[in-house]
């Protein structure tokens, strides 16, 4: 999209098919721009021609191609500016949903003076015309691409202004705070103190707390939006691939008795409680023997670093070895995983325990597991024993991560990486006010040591600018291009 986009908004009328490609009962061709009505009338023959086309009223008639031939019987609706999705004059022709038919209507509109719309251009015009802020515009795409019911509700809340309202409240508070701080700069000799440092501390801490609350929801929001990643980790030949196949209900991974069969990450998708799961089988972790296996181990840990849930598989018939102890260390606190990732130890091959006293053998292993930092359960990927319990535990962990309902699920949740970065920027600025280290040293922020209004104003503006990035009040053109290019043409 070129840099003349804003100018084109004022001049061009655009056209595109607004419904999914393919055969269907209904197909909609949408026009938006100053010439929408005149172009739309050239493409339509009204059965009962009105004296004046009223806004938001449907008319029956025939759709015409570029040669004036009737090619369909359809509905015509005109939405006058500013009461339309884009804020411009909009015409929609609601035809039967045949690809060739809809393409003919679009070609007719182009022949009459319209320009083919670019990806996301209708929603971008809605944003530029103030019908949506940028967070709401992004929610449109998230609604279209939602893969979970809860994720859909989160995106709908964002479209309806939930996140935008929260950001607006914080921006207003920062503007008032900035006004008082700048007034104290402009009138330093006033006998009456314009703003006290106690007020700055209290207000900064209040806003920072709200930002922290939003940041704490990101992992949940991303999981609801994109699904969760479950990574199966363990030494060679402990049954990781068999376990993956059991969870999927299909033979996705190759299973042999030879250790090291899996040399790369293998994955497939399933659903638990409506949340899509990416089940990832990894290369067995051991002291590697060759370059290919070394790369497989590297990719295994790479998968672990992005996991939402880790299944650490251990052969129940063997003692916990050095490699398994190392894996436990790296997962627990060695920096191999994201903070707060759930880990579950799966003691597999329980079918191989002594058949004469299986309970005694399990009790013995239970005693050995008491010092583990993670919960555990017994399975047999071969017979299916314990697999239902494993699914139930994964379901419980998912609900803990994604919110199982109640008040927590009604909170405003962020699910967008761009929003995350902007909130982190605002947090940095507010933290600098309270605990800045670059001037006064650790724990001696600009406000806590002495009142420095000039420096405070810089940090308040920084926080304000970061929050404005979320709603699109500030931002580079290439950021807008990147956001709207992800939309389909008709949206």
**Length of the chain, in residues:** 491
Burial of 115 from C-beta contacts in 10 A (0-12 / 13-18 / 19+): middle
Q: Check the annotation: does 259 bind a ligand.
A: yes
Q: Check the annotation: does 463 bind a ligand.
A: no
Helix (H, G, I), strand (E, B) or coil at 383: coil
Q: Check the annotation: does 474 bind a ligand.
A: no
Q: Check the annotation: does 348 bind a ligand.
A: no
CA distances from 279 to 228, 305, 309 (A): 9, 14, 10
Tell me if 308 sits within 8 A of 401, measured CB to CB: yes
Q: Check the annotation: does 240 bind a ligand.
A: yes
**Tally of CB atoms within 10 A around 437:** 12
Q: Check the annotation: does 404 bind a ligand.
A: no
Q: Check the annotation: does 69 bind a ligand.
A: no
259 closest CA partner among 225, 285, 278? 285
Alpha helices in 307-436 (DSSP H): 322-332, 358-369, 387-402, 417-435
Burial of 42 from C-beta contacts in 10 A (0-12 / 13-18 / 19+): middle
Tell me if 96 sits within 8 A of 26, measured CB to CB: yes
In the block, tokens 């930002």 appear at: 211
Q: Check the annotation: does 242 bind a ligand.
A: yes
Q: Check the annotation: does 36 bind a ligand.
A: no
Q: Check the annotation: does 261 bind a ligand.
A: yes
Tell me if 231 sits within 8 A of 307, measured CB to CB: yes
Q: Check the annotation: does 457 bind a ligand.
A: no
Helix (H, G, I), strand (E, B) or coil at 305: helix
Q: What is the C-alpha separation between 434 and 215, in angstroms, rounded?
A: 18
Q: Which two tokens stand for residue 264?
A: 């790369």
Q: What is the C-alpha separation between 95 and 334, in angstroms, rounded?
A: 60
Q: Check the annotation: does 84 bind a ligand.
A: no
Q: Check the annotation: does 92 bind a ligand.
A: yes
Tell me if 296 sits within 8 A of 283, measured CB to CB: yes
Q: Check the annotation: does 258 bind a ligand.
A: yes
Tell me if 413 sits within 8 A of 382, measured CB to CB: no
In the block, tokens 């008040």 appear at: 407
Q: Check the annotation: does 265 bind a ligand.
A: no
In the annotated binding site, the residues are: 30, 92, 131, 237-242, 256-262, 491
In the annotated binding site for (6S)-5-formyl-5,6,7,8-tetrahydrofolate, the residues are: 30, 92, 131, 491
In the annotated binding site for Mg(2+), the residues are: 241, 262
In the annotated binding site for GTP, the residues are: 237-242, 256-262
């Amino acid at each position: 999209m070129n840099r003349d986009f804003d100018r084109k908004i004022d001049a061009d009328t655009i056209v595109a098919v607004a419904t999914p490609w393919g055969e269907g009962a209904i197909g909609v061709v949408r026009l938006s721009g100053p010439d929408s009505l005149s172009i739309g009338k050239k493409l339509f023959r009204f059965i009962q021609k009105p004296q004046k086309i009223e806004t938001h009223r449907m008319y029956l008639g025939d759709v015409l191609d570029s040669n004036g031939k009737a090619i369909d019987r359809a509905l015509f609706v005109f939405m006058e500016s500013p009461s339309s999705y884009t804020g411009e004059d909009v015409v929609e022709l609601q035809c039967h949903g045949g690809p060739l038919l809809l393409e003919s209507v679009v070609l007719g509109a182009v022949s009459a003076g319209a320009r083919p719309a670019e990806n996301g251009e209708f929603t971008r015009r809605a944003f530029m015309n103030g019908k949506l802020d940028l967070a709401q515009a992004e929610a449109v795409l998230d609604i279209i691409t939602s893969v979970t019911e809860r994720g859909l509700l989160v995106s709908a809340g964002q479209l309806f202004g939930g996140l935008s309202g929260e950001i607006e409240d914080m921006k207003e508070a920062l503007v008032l705070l900035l006004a008082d701080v700048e007034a104290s700069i402009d009138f330093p000799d006033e006998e009456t103190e314009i703003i006290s440092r106690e007020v700055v501390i209290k207000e900064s801490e209040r806003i920072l707390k709200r930002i922290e609350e939003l940041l704490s929801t990101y992992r949940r929001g991303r999981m609801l939006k994109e699904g969760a990643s479950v990574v199966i980790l363990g030494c060679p030949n402990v049954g990781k691939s068999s376990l993956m196949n059991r969870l999927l209900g299909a033979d996705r991974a190759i299973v042999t008795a030879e250790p090291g069969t899996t040399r790369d990450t293998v994955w497939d998708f399933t659903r638990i409680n409506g949340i899509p799961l990416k089940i990832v089988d990894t290369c067995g972790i051991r002291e590697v023997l060759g370059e290919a296996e070394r790369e497989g181990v590297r990719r295994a840990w790479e998968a672990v670093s992005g996991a939402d849930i880790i299944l650490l598989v251990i052969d129940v018939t063997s003692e916990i070895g050095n490699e398994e102890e190392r894996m436990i260390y790296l997962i627990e606190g060695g920096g191999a995983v994201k903070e707060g990732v759930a880990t579950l130890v799966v003691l597999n091959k329980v079918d191989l325990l002594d058949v004469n006293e299986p309970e005694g053998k399990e009790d013995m292993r239970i005693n050995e597991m008491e010092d583990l930092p993670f919960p555990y359960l017994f399975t047999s990927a071969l017979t299916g024993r314990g697999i239902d319990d494993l699914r139930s535990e994964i379901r419980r962990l998912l609900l803990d991560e994604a919110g199982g309902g109640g008040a927590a699920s009604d909170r405003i949740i962020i699910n967008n990486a761009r929003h995350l970065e902007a909130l982190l920027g605002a947090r940095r600025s507010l933290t600098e006010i309270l605990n800045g280290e670059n001037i006064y040293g650790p724990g001696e922020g600009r406000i806590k040591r002495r009142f420095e209004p000039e420096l405070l104003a810089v940090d308040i503006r920084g926080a304000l600018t970061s929050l404005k990035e979320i709603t699109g009040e500030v931002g580079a053109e290439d950021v807008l291009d990147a956001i709207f290019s992800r939309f389909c043409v008709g949206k």
